[in-house]
Amino acid sequence: MHNYSGVLVIVGSLCLTITLVLAWCLVGVRTSSRVRKLFPSVPNLLKAHIDYLLMTGLLMIFYLLFAHFRLSVSPIILVAMSAGSFMNPVGFLILAIKPDIRQQPATPFGVLMTCSFTLTTIGYVGAAWYVADAAVLLL
């Protein structure tokens, strides 16, 4: 089986790049009326920034854990972690731009977020079980 866990570093690097861009956007909302108009909900912009930063850390940590334990993780888990990590903060970004968007489960936004949360949960629970199983074998 191939070890594709390097994809986590690639997605983590993308998330880090996005969080740095969002940091500059946070500066922009304080200094530019144009940027402030683009992001009327600064708290949601900050949440998107923090969430991308969190996802960066989680992706990098799990990559290092997989490497440490020499685990070959299911591509389904890697795709779920990667897609969920990228998509979760998008919800906050959408709310930063359009804070009055309908958020009910049956709306496009609700469906996007439900899919994102499901992918993230499957990915990180699966990853945690891989690592826990490997750690137990070392006891």
- The domain ranges of the chain are 6-138
Q: What is the pLDDT of residue 1?
A: 52
Per-residue pLDDT tens over the stretch 112-121: 999 999 999 9
Average pLDDT, the chain: 96
Q: Examine the pLDDT at 107 and tell me if it is beyond 60.
A: yes
Report the predicted TM-score, pTM, of the whole model to 2 decimal places. Answer: 0.93
Say how far apart CA 87 and CA 99 lie, in whole Å: 17
- Residue 133 makes CB contacts below 8 A (sequence gap 6+) with none
CA nearest to 48, candidates 15, 112, 93: 93
Residue with tokens 């998008």, as numbered in its chain: 90
The amino acid that residue 72 corresponds to is: S
Residue 103 per-residue DSSP state: -
